[in-house]
Amino acid sequence: MIRFDHISKQYRGTNRPALGDVSFEAQRGEFVFLVGASGSGKSSCLRLILKEEKPTKGKIHVLGQDLGTISSRKVPYFRRNLGVVFQDFRLLPNKTVYQNVAFTLQVIGKSRGFIQEAVPDVLKMVGLDGKAQRMPHELSGGEQQRVAIARAVVNKPQILLADEPTGNLDPATSAGIMSVLERINAGGTTIIMATHEAHFVDQMKKRVIELSQGQIVRDERHGGYGVTAAIPLTKPAPAPAEPQTVQLATGVVVPVAPVAKPAGEPAPAASADEPAEQSNNVRPITSATPVQRPAEAEISLAERLGLRANGTDGQEYDQNVGPVK
């Protein structure tokens, strides 16, 4: 499903490779944690899988395709098989939850009927039933990440890439997000997740690939976070706190500790399961709700999400439909 063959990656202007001779294979349906200290190469691996970056040496195969042979024009088609979730959610602030998720499908040209069925289904799956008309600022951090996950999986990608998806969330909210990811994985989606969350990695007993200075130093079928996946120096150390536990969807009980927030970062308004403030500024979705073409800012988000080739015109938006050719 995903194969790295002797991959090296050296960014321009650097004197040390970010990845050096990395080889691994992830099978369909696996849940793989990428762990390692800050700068060890986790995000670089995800960017290479997405074909956002090219390897300096070696070959990458994703879903049976050699990424080196996919032209720039075909990259958006390729990326339709992949969902991506980031630490900072990347929602469109002026669109409702429904519209944020529908946007993914609009960009790839799905019909209004399809969108009107698929969006409520995926919102229910991520636990946002009843919140379709909220604006992102009316949601807690955990709820915003659920929207981002819904957006990533609404088109049923075979692979979900998650780059520190719980990095901005408190422990209990993070547990909710991990439950959602477990549920998506149980449905057959392969998940590759870069994380510094030792507790979840230790408790979930999934495959763990540990990177250190751009090299794989550990690859365990049912691994833990490990002692050498050092806490990154660039991030604040977790504050000491009373031990807490939370239960994941699979029934696994996970001990959690609060994460120190960077100075100035707003705390989530509420936990993922608490209702957010009711908004007066809501517009009900009806079968007559128009599905609009994305505006400029939205097109640029589509490019960042990999749904659309950079700098293509409106024609490409209409034509960008269908499997990789």
Ligand X SMILES: Nc1ncnc2c1ncn2[C@@H]1O[C@H](COP(=O)(O)OP(=O)(O)OP(=O)(O)O)[C@@H](O)[C@H]1O
Contact status, residue 244 vs residue 171, Cβ threshold 8 Å? yes
d(CA 325, CA 319): 13
CB of 216 vs ligand X, minimal distance in Å: 12
Binding status of residue 39 toward ligand X by CB under 6 A: yes
Under rule CB under 6 A, residue 43 binds ligand X: yes
Report, in Å, the least distance between residue 272 CB and ligand X.
23
11 binds ligand X (CB under 6 A): yes
Enter the tokens of residue 128: 């946002």
Instruction: Choose between 211 and 299: whose C-beta lies nearer to ligand X.
Output: 211
User: Hunting for tokens 């001990």 — which residue is that?
Assistant: 255
Angle (CA) 93 42 241, round 5°: 75
Q: Does 87 bind ligand X (CB under 6 A)?
A: no
How far is it, in rounded angstroms, from Cα 238 to Cα 255? Answer: 14
CB nearer ligand X, residue 263 or residue 288: 263
| Shortest distance, position 273 Cβ to ligand X, whole Å | 28
User: Can residue 232 be called a binding residue for ligand X (CB under 6 A)?
Assistant: yes
Mark the segment that binds ligand X (CB under 6 A) among 31-39, 218-226, 290-298, 313-321. Answer: 31-39
From the list 6, 23, 27, 38, which residue makes contact with ligand X (rule: CB under 6 A)? 38
Run of H or E including 82: strand 82-85
Three-class secondary structure of residue 84 per DSSP: strand
Answer yes or no: are the C-beta atoms of 202 and 220 closer than 8 Å.
Answer: no
Taking the C-alpha atoms of residue 273 and residue 184, their distance in angstroms, rounded to an integer, is: 18
Check residue 216 for interaction with ligand X (CB under 6 A): no
**What's the min distance (Å) between Cβ of 188 and ligand X?**
27
List all residues 6 or more positions away from 69 whose beta carbon is below 8 Å from its beta carbon: none
Question: Within the chain, what is the greatest distance between any pair of CA atoms?
Answer: 57
Q: Does 14 bind ligand X (CB under 6 A)?
A: yes
At 96, which amino acid appears? T
| 243-266: burial string, b at 16+ Cβ within 10 Å, e else | eeebebeeebebebeebeeeeeee
Amino acid identity, position 25: E
| Per-position x/- string for 181-200, each x denoting binding to ligand X as judged by CB under 6 A, each - no binding | -------------x------
How are beta strands 65-66 and 244-247 bridged, if at all?
unpaired
Choice between 12 and 325, CB closer to ligand X: 12
The region, left, alpha or beta by phi > 0 then psi within -120 to 50, assigned to residue 306 is left
We find the least distance from the C-beta atom of residue 230 to ligand X, in angstroms, to be 11
Q: Which stretch binds ligand X (CB under 6 A): 33-41, 60-68, 75-83, 175-183?
A: 33-41
Yes or no: say if 181 and 174 are a contact pair by the CB < 8 Å rule.
Answer: no
CB of 162 to ligand X, least distance (A): 12
CB of residue 52 vs ligand X: minimum separation in angstroms?
A: 10
Q: Is 167 in the site for ligand X (CB under 6 A)?
A: no
Give whichever of 48 and 178 is closer to ligand X, judged by the CB atom. Answer: 48
**Is 94 one of the binding residues for ligand X (CB under 6 A)?**
no
CB nearer to ligand X: pick between 43 and 185: 43
**Residue ranges binding ligand X (CB under 6 A):** 11, 14, 18, 36, 38-44, 194, 232
